[in-house]
Amino acid sequence: MPVHKDVVGRGFFSNAPRKLESSPNLRRYTRRKAIGGAGFRALKTVESLGQKLDSFLKLTRRNAALGDVLELSHVLKTRQFKMRLPNEELRPREYLEEEEVERLVKAAAKIGRHRLRDALMIRMAAKHGYRAAELCALKWSQIDLDSRNAKVRVVRLKGSEDSVHFLNREEILALKKMRELYPGSPYVFGHERGSKLSPGAFWKIVKRAGALAGFPFPLHPHMLRHACGYRLTNEGKDTRSVQAYMGHRKPENAQIYTKMSPDRFRDF
């Protein structure tokens, strides 16, 4: 059955193919787009979900067979949607303070089979402002442990600028142990079989350590990157230096850490 032209080009179907020539095609597209796709995962409230479903069912009733409507209605009623709440409702802030990072490192060192690896990942993410994907892709070729001043070449993603950071004593000792425990792998943080750890696995490590450490809100790896910028700003580093250390291309991206720092009001 031909699909009415109003179906294509409306908000929910704005990215739909121009030729949805039959109700089966419409059914396949809506299942992929709406059910389990990015469309409904991005919804913020139950009200907006209801509006989307009402609009969708009205269009479907007008353009598809009754049997298709009933089938889709049954799927929509029985499918359990996972609604993602806004960040401000999940946690009070998007960064960790220094003492909280240490709590998280100690918690990660107490649980799991790869305690040294997990604790070191959290420590380095907060120290160097790593994104999860950047940290998981870290290779031994980017680390110099043999020179007098041990350092790491931080390779950034998302168009950010690379940089070279010094390693502190805790990191050097832990990295040397890691090199002994996981020989033969080009990646610093990986499995016994040599493959690198995924960002999703690191997210689970942070979440598990946060629960063990007793945080009252869920944690995610990017909070460690924000913790780095927050720490540098509290130490009195200027915005340009923070920008270069974090790899930001634009200085305004580093100004968010200045806004979070209370030190600018110390003499008020």
Whether the CA torsion 86, 88, 91, 95 is positive or negative: it is positive
> What is the three-class DSSP state of 41?
helix
Structure tokens at 85: 């709440």
Q: Which residues of 173-198 are buried (b: 16+ CB within 10 A; e: fewer)?
A: ebbeebeeebeebebbbbeeeeebbe
- Choice among 27, 103, 128, 131 that is catalytic: 131
End-to-end CA distance of the chain: give it in Å, rounded. 71
**Nearest one of 256, 213, 202, 265 to 232, comparing CA atoms:** 256
Give Cα separations from 224 to 132, 209, 266 (angstroms): 9, 13, 25
Q: Is 225 a catalytic residue?
A: yes
- Choice among 103, 225, 226, 231 that is catalytic: 225
Q: Is 61 a catalytic residue?
A: no
- Choice among 18, 158, 193, 266 that is catalytic: 158
Q: Is 245 a catalytic residue?
A: no
Q: Is 248 a catalytic residue?
A: yes
Contact criterion met (CB below 8 Å) for 126 and 102: no
Q: Is 187 a catalytic residue?
A: no
Give me the phi and psi of 166, to 5 degrees please: -80, 150
Q: Is 28 a catalytic residue?
A: no
Residue 253 class from Cβ within 10 Å (0-12 exposed, 13-18 middle, 19+ buried)?
middle
Give the residue numbers annotated as catalytic, written as ranges: 131, 158, 222, 225, 248, 257
